[in-house]
Structures are given as C-alpha cells and as structure tokens.
Structure 1
Amino acid sequence: MLSPDVAHILPATDTFQEVIPAVLPMFHIYGFTVLSLSTLIIGSKVVTLRKFAPDVYISVLKNYNVTSVIAAPPLVLFLTVHPDVKTEYLQSVRLVISGAAPLGSLDEERFLEKNWTTSSYASRIRSDRDIASGDYIHKKAFEKSSVGKLVPNTFAKIIAVDDPTGTPLGPNQSGELLVKGPQVMRGYHNKPEETKNAFLDGWFRTGDLMHYNEDGLFYVTDRLKELIKVKGFQVAPAELEEAIRDFPSVQDAAVIGIPHPMYGEVPRAYVVPKAKAQLKTEELQKYIANKLAEYKQLKGGVEVVDSIPKNAAGKILRRQLKLQYEARN
C-alpha cells in the first residue's frame, strides 16, 4: 500500500466513489498500474472506452460526474483546446494525472486557466505528473512544472549524459536520471545484454533527461534518446514543441532532428494548425527565433501536417517522422 501522501486516488466510502474515464491502453504499464490496478483495488468506478474518440470522451465527462482524469499530455491538450470541452463538464474533477511523456509548464498553465480559474475546485487541484520510465516520483503539493519528490524507499541521482562513472551531479544540473528501489525490475527476461546495458553499478538507467533543485523537486526535460545535438548543444524536442504550441494558430506540434552539414543536426517542426486558422510558417519561425536561443531555432524547416503520429499511450512517434523524412530526402 502507498502511504497517504502518495495515494492520490481516494478509496470508495459509503458516500464517495472515484469516477475515472479509462482511455489509456491497459497493456501499457501506465494504464495497467495507475489506471487499472491502483484504482480498482480501492473501489473506483472505471468507465472504459474502447478507444479515444472526442465525442465519446466528452460525453463521459458530461454524463458521469468524473472525479479524476488519468491522462497523457495529448489528452490534456485536447481538454484545453477542444471547443466542445466545457468548463462545467469538469467541475467535479478533483485530480488530474498526466504521465508517459513530459507536459510543459505552458501547457499546464493553459489547461488550468481554461478549466479552473473560476472554479470552486481550484484549491483542491494538483497537477501531478509521473516520468515516463516509472513511478519513482510523486507530488505532495502543487509546484509549477515539477514532477515532485521521490516516493518512499527510492534513491535517485542525476549523472552527466554518457558518464560511465555514474558520478552524481548537483542541483540544477541536467543529466540522466538513475534510480534504485523496490519498484525497479531485476532485468529483461532472457536478455542478459539488454539487462547489462540498462543498469550502471546497480542503478537503473531511466533514459529520462532531468534535473532537481535545492528543495529536492525534480523536473523532466525529455527522453535522452530524443535529444537533438546542434553544434555540440543538446536540444530537447519537448521544449521546442511546447513553445510552438504557444503560437496562436498552432494546435499540435512535433520536433525531430535532421542532418545538417555544418551543425550536425538541426530541429525540424511538424505542426497541426488550429481549425480555420491561417498558419504562416515564416511567422512561426520568427516567433521561435525571438523566444529561444539561436541553436534551438527551426533551421530544419516547418512542415504543416494534418496530425501528429502518436502511440496508444500518447507519446509522439518521432522515429516515424524521422523515417518519413529520410524516405523523402
């Protein structure tokens, strides 16, 4: 059992029962543990959806007095930007958990501003996010853009990227998160080489790029394998995607690294315009140039697309975009 300050989903009583829409795939570890096992064991009502469809999900919000939403970032963005998601449909929601991929602070703010700036439930809301690689961290109180502190019985350290010594970095230094704890696997079944590569001196390599501050609060940057290396600098696609989504006529975005003869790699953006919006790629590039450092700019270009490829858990399939780009160039 989790201690009371970790268990955000409340047990059923004579007068209360959590109501949770289930759209995450239950074969995924996030959907299996957080959405299924940890909710059903305490008597929650889990409203299952065969697959995500906007009208069906909105009807669940409208008709079931949903109390908690367990989501991935694309669902949070949907609840923020879709015109048919009304504030009153979320007035019974007391908890939102977003995991499987980073949710940026700007996206978090837009979600809260739309749905709870005038709601009497605002003081009860926590914006809780779990890192992609597991339940190593929890939030005891709201902290903008942080994923919180370590859960009990768990050890963690941040090390420099590709550091074979495993030397811990200090506060506010970005690197890969390594963890130890009872929730960490022993290894991959019948795959000794993969198991060996997944650990460093007994520490599990999560593949998450993170940092922590002086108060022990952790912050996710992106997945290590997704980094774009521009002139020796490491650029996190998630940071660029968040900035692009802040552009008024953009609804969704994905960023990949493409080869460049001088810089090694440069960021390339794929963007989905908002309905009826006139998206001018030159204006978007200027907007990003004014907000971010020179090496983070979209020198690989901007392509307007109808949708961003994502897996069932809501993660952007950047590898698929890379393969599409390589096939055309």
Structure 2
Amino acid sequence: MPTPQATLRSQHPRTGLTLLELLLVLGILSAVMGLGLGMFASLDLSKRQAVGLVRNALRSAQNSAISRRSEASVRIDPKLGRMSPRFQQVVGTWHFETPELVGAFGIQGRAIDAELTQDGYIGRALDFDVDAEGPRVELPIQRDTAADFRAGFALECALRRSGADAGEVANAGASFGLQVLRDGALRGWFAPQVLAQDGGAAKGGHVIAQSEPGALPLGVWRRVRLEYAGQELVLSLDGSAVARVEEQAPVWQLEGPLLLSSARTPFRGQLDVLVLTAVGAGEDVELPEGVSFSPESAVTLRFQAGGGLDRRAHTQPVRIGIDFADGARQWVGIGLYGTVE
C-alpha cells in the first residue's frame, strides 16, 4: 500500500529542468545565436542600403511617369554622389474646339480678335491670320498654383505658318516662349533666374535655342516642343531635336498670363493642340559616406509616360554602377520597359 508521501508526489509530478538539461539547452542556444550573429556580421548592410536607395529613387520616378501619365527623369551626378528626380505635371491642355477656349483643367482663355478655323491640326484650331492688328489669346495660367515653372517646363503645340512675317507664337508670363522668324526659323527661349549684385535674385538675359531657317515652312502643320528641365533647353520639331543649349539656372517666375500671338508682333498662322507642362523637383537622394557612382554613370534617365525608358534618349537598357570603399562595384539595371533590377 503506497505511503501518503508517495501519493502526494504522484498527484504533483516533477516540472522544470534539471541542471544538466538546463546546461544542455543553454549550450544549444549559444551555438545557434553564435551562428546567427556570424551570419549577420558577414552581411554588409551599408552596401544593401546604398543599392536600395538607388533602386527606390529610380522606381519612384518610374511610378510617377505611370501614375501621372507624363514624363519623369532622374539625373545622376557622380561627383556629388547625388540623384535628382524630376517629374512633370500637366498644367493645361487646349484643343480649341469651342469659342470658350476652356482647357482640360479648367483654365479658360480669352480671345482678342483671334478666330477659330475648321481646318485645324485635329478638328478646329486657333487662327491668327485674320484682318486685325494684333489677334491674340490670353490664358491666365498665373492664377493656377500648379503653374510653377522654376524647375522647368514643356510647351508643345501644332503650328502652321501662313504669313511670311516674323511673329510671337507664345509668351508665358515673360518667363519662356516661342517665336517664328522671317526666314522660317523657330526660336525658343526662357529667362533664367540669376544672382544679382546685392545677393538677391534677378532676371537674366534670354537663353535661346534656335532652329535652322525654313524649319517652319508656309502652309505645313508641324509639331513643336520646347522643353527645359534644369539641364538643357531643347527645341524639337515632329519629335526630333533641332536645337539644344546647355543651362542649369532656374526659370524666372511668371509675370503674367500665357499669350498666344501678340499685339505688337502677331503670329500669322494657326495653332492647335496646346499642352503646357511644369517640371517638379523631387527630393534629392545622396549616397552614404564611402559610396559613389562610377564615372560612366553620369546620365539623366528619362522615363516616358507609361513608365518605359524614353527611346529618344535610351536605345538600350541602362546600367548604373555603384562603387564602394573596399573596391567592390555593384550594378543597378534599368530595362527598356522601365523595370529596375
């Protein structure tokens, strides 16, 4: 017959670990933790961080091109170890199908002696070749907070020249504009913001990109694009660059509305499908200390609307080299469809 003490021990079985078992468990944990710490110590997190920064900046620009349905770019400066993203925001589009001249984003124009013609580039178009002294259209873009062109701009339209005189095609608040010369050359310009003698900001002389004579012949529709994104002023006709000038200065702020044609020197011709875009500057991304871009990585990556690489600037995939203090180099690739690897 079991004693009362034995009965008590059977009702309360022994719990916990013996000293030997505890030492064995601690030994196993030490071994596992030692292996884990050694594994993490072998990882160079600074390299992962640098590569991640570059990939994130590139993917952010591509996502902007997709979501905004407009172009985006990333400028890489190996000397400073810096990436400068730029994105484009459409301020307004006008197709000039009705006399109200209302754009896609609600900016309504005012016609002064200008008329509409049925023979437009697409449908109707503005006609400045009329029997009036100074036919023109005013678009009050300066009232729109999105019309901040200090980081850059793009002005695109279809033009048809019907008179041999020189004329003002567009003037955006004395900040940038487009002219046609008597010989048929096109001239794009913008006013840079420069440093004044007193240390403040001042309006500088025009930066000009001008085509060869005859670029805009009489009676022919041409697609014209003038763009600047803090690196160069580019004038294009039908998708091909005809003039470019390097410049990095900010654009002078708007001083008034966008004028199409002018009272003093009107453009004698027709204008259609106007698109005005502002360039926005994203936050610069700088590489960590001891990390730099390879010299051949000095490039401006351009993403077209939709996210793929702009084929006008990139005919093949792009590779960005990242150099580390220990002499190692890692590559980040961007495919033609904009995928970042």
Please indicate the TM-score interval, normalised by the length of the shorter structure: under 0.3
With normalisation by structure 1, the TM-score equals 0.24
Higher strand share: 2
The structure showing larger relative contact order (alpha-carbon pairs under 8 Å, at least 6 residues apart) is: 2
